[in-house]
Amino acid sequence: MANSRAFTEAAIDSEGSLHADIPKANAWKDFLALIKIGIVNSNLITTFTGLWLALHFTNKGFINNLDIVLYTLIGSSLIIAGSATLNNFYDRDIDHLMERTKDRPTVTGKAHPTKVVILGLLLVALGTLLLLLTTVTAAIMGLIGVFSYVVVYTMWSKRRHVSNTIVGSISGAVPPLIGWAAVDGNLDLMAWSLFLIMFAWQPPHFYALAMRRVEEYRAAGIPMLPVVKGFQTTKKHIVLWVIALLPLPLLLTSLGIPFLILATALNIGWLLLGLRHSKMKDDLKWAKLMFVYSLQYLTIMFVAMVLVTFI
């Protein structure tokens, strides 16, 4: 009863500490939106996979290298968060035109532009310092990712070229290289195989998203493939990129037959789903199915890479 009473009093006290906590909660929510926490978390999966496989194939223990693991995961998260923050700063003039970006703190005015730039640069700097505690190669890979995302993609290609998605795929494929390089700076063929898988995965993933958001991209003046070339061409490109994924598991034969079977099944499943577009009249429904499949594909593929090392 005492706990119930305390809760009731807190709820009634509209001028007290309850309201004082609301701005703090909103500030934290704005911060997470600013750094694009969803992107940070998803990239952690691929970074960790590269790191784990490097430890496995170089016969280095996970526990014995826990410091490297922490430096890598925190460092890569910081540079990705910093890059996303700088992206938010640069795109603040068009983000208000899109439904999914109109509430970002850089659009609503909750985050001052100068402070956003400082935060972004600070996060990148701290992340780079942590990666330097692993290997120089890991730090270089991290900076390449930052440059390709912030400068090459955000500032150059995004608003000018229909190939912007392919250009942006470079930065999205860097995280597993960072993870591997933190353990082995020589970057084995397997590390580059992870890069290729991530690179080829992104166009069909983002083209499907662009189809669903085509009017928003059109309003913002972003020359995404569905905006410039239409749905039929976009669907063909999606299928071609999925086909490009088909042979890539063969570069990972050292992960064993079970993984090759799973990866091949995932690729064929995605291709068969993609080919259904000729029978489906609802392009947006097809795009949604392809987008959802792409998310499951990435998670299952990279988690499986870790799990098969226990077999």
pTM: predicted TM-score of the whole model, two decimal places: 0.89
**Residue 237 half-sphere exposure, CB side, CA atoms within 13 Å?**
23
3-class SS string, 210-257: HHHCHHHHHHHCCCCHHHHHCHHHHHHHHHHHHHHHCCHHHHHHHHCH
Report pLDDT for 114: 93
Give me the residues of the chain with pLDDT under 50, please.
Answer: 2-22
pLDDT by residue (tens digit) across 211-257? Answer: 999 999 999 999 999 999 999 999 999 999 999 999 999 999 999 99
Residue 129 tokens read as 């310092």
Contact partners, residue 258, CB within 8 Å, separation at least 6: 308, 311
* 260: nearest Cα among 297, 301, 299: 301
Report pLDDT for 25: 54
pLDDT by residue (tens digit) across 183-216? Answer: 999 999 999 999 999 999 999 999 999 999 999 9
